[in-house]
Structure 1
Amino acid sequence: MHHTGGPGWRITMDTSGPMLIALYVRDAAGLNSAGQPALCHVAPKIRPSDHTHLIAEAGGLSALKTEWEAWWEQLLKAHPEMSPELGPPGFRAFSNSPALRRVLQAHFGAALSWARERRGEYVALEAEREVGGGVQLLADMVEDRLLEVGRAARDFSLTIIELPLAEPRAWYLEPDKIIMSRELLSEPELFRSYVQPVVDLLV
């Protein structure tokens, strides 16, 4: 986790274990463009499999998509907390989402292993950035904006959730969250093009 801040403002960058698991489940079930915002595929890519028989009695693919989207919305609201609780093997918190519950039961082991690997990669990436000063760009963006407006920053906090997404881009979630590809910070100009307008809005 990276923290950058000054008088009255704070920017936090981190990844999310529960969201990693949710994205694995989404891609494994072939739920393309599910959720708001509709994020691209994860990287490395997960091969989707046919879940027709598994979820036929639980409402099929449309029910699964609806249930996954409700779960994703909860994860975004609760971040950085884990809500609802992932409790294998029964997944009781998903009793009202029978299709999603079945898919979770089928994929949870693989999803957890995949998420742990991505988390390990993120920890290594954070260490690399600490040494290279990669996060300084955020503080510079706030300072640039403050010079532009000629006053102190309004109180604000911004959470940047970094995920292993195939496209190097970011998605702004009002009022104070950004989801972005963890590769984006390594492309400073592109990073600035997505994040500076949000910083300008908040400062």
Structure 2
Amino acid sequence: MYIAGTESCQISVDEPSALVVALYIRELIGISGLTAPEIPVLDPSSDIWPAWAPRPSAGLAPPPDPFAGLIDREQTAREWARWWRHALAVGAAAIDDLHPPKFPAFHATPSLRLLLQVHYERAALWADVISSDPRVKRAHSAPRDGLETLAREAARSWGARPFRLRITVIPVQTEHAWQLGPDHILMTRHLIADRENVLDWLRSRILAMS
């Protein structure tokens, strides 16, 4: 995560690990069409393990299929969608809900809780490996200097009023962004890495907010 701008006028960029874990779980169990906006599949795919990273191998046994008589897929999908909305809203703080092995924060979503008990360790390892790739850090930082300039432009437009914009990044296919609210944008990693394109896209929206 980083913040461009000043205390009173800032743009933050973050790729919350809880969202990466949630997307891994979604892909692993094969549920889709549950988000608004609809989110593409992971890139890289959840079945790809980077060649440069040690595999989880020895310590992790193949996970059982939780849908083999244990939980209902449709119920789990609804619970996952509820979790996604919450994690997207709170951002980085969503990781505080993920406390294995009992996952007490998920007591109201028992199917999802069981799913996390089965898959969380593998999902968290995958998310850590993917997010620690130096190419990811370069992608996030690509527009940083331009965001500093945009924050200064916004400060001039907004005058004495404080300005906050949160950019949440997710590692999925396509180059796209979605305006979730006046101060929150969901953006793919492919778009944040495209410096000129993302700055052009953001400039008109930020200045229109003044």
TM-score, normalisation: structure 1: 0.80
Aligned to 1:10: 10
Structure 1: unaligned runs, 5 residues or longer: none
Alpha carbons 1:36, 1:69 under 8 Å: kept? no
State percent identity of aligned pairs: 25
Pair 1:162-2:169 in alignment: yes
Structure 2: unaligned runs, 5 residues or longer: 48-62
Comparing 163-172 with 3-12, which one deviates more in the overlay? Answer: 3-12
| 1:46 counterpart SS class | coil
**Alignment deviations for residues 102-131 of structure 1 (CA, whole Å, 9 cap, x no partner):** 2212211110011101221268624993xx
Indicate how the Cα distance of structure 1 residues 195 and 61 shifts in structure 2: closer, same or farther if over 3 A, else same: farther
Pair 1:192-2:192 in alignment: no
How far apart in 2 are the matches of 1:163 and 1:154? 30
- Count of residues in Structure 1 that have an aligned counterpart in Structure 2: 195
Pair 1:118-2:125 in alignment: no
1:15-30 equivalences under 5 Å are 15-30=15-30
Letter in 2 for 1:140: T
Aligned to 2:146: 137
Alpha carbons 2:138, 2:193 under 8 Å: kept? no
How far apart in 2 are the matches of 1:193 and 1:111? 34
Pair 1:37-2:46 in alignment: no
Q: Identify the match of residue 99 of structure 1 among 85, 108, 111.
A: 111
Root-mean-square deviation (CA), in Å?
Answer: 3.0
Cα deviation for residue 12 of structure 1 reads 0.7
| 1:79 counterpart SS class | helix
How far apart in 1 are the matches of 2:133 and 2:161? 34
How far apart in 1 are the matches of 2:120 and 2:7? 42
Letter in 2 for 1:139: E
Aligned to 1:172: 179
How far apart in 1 are the matches of 2:105 and 2:197? 39
TM-score, normalisation: structure 2: 0.78
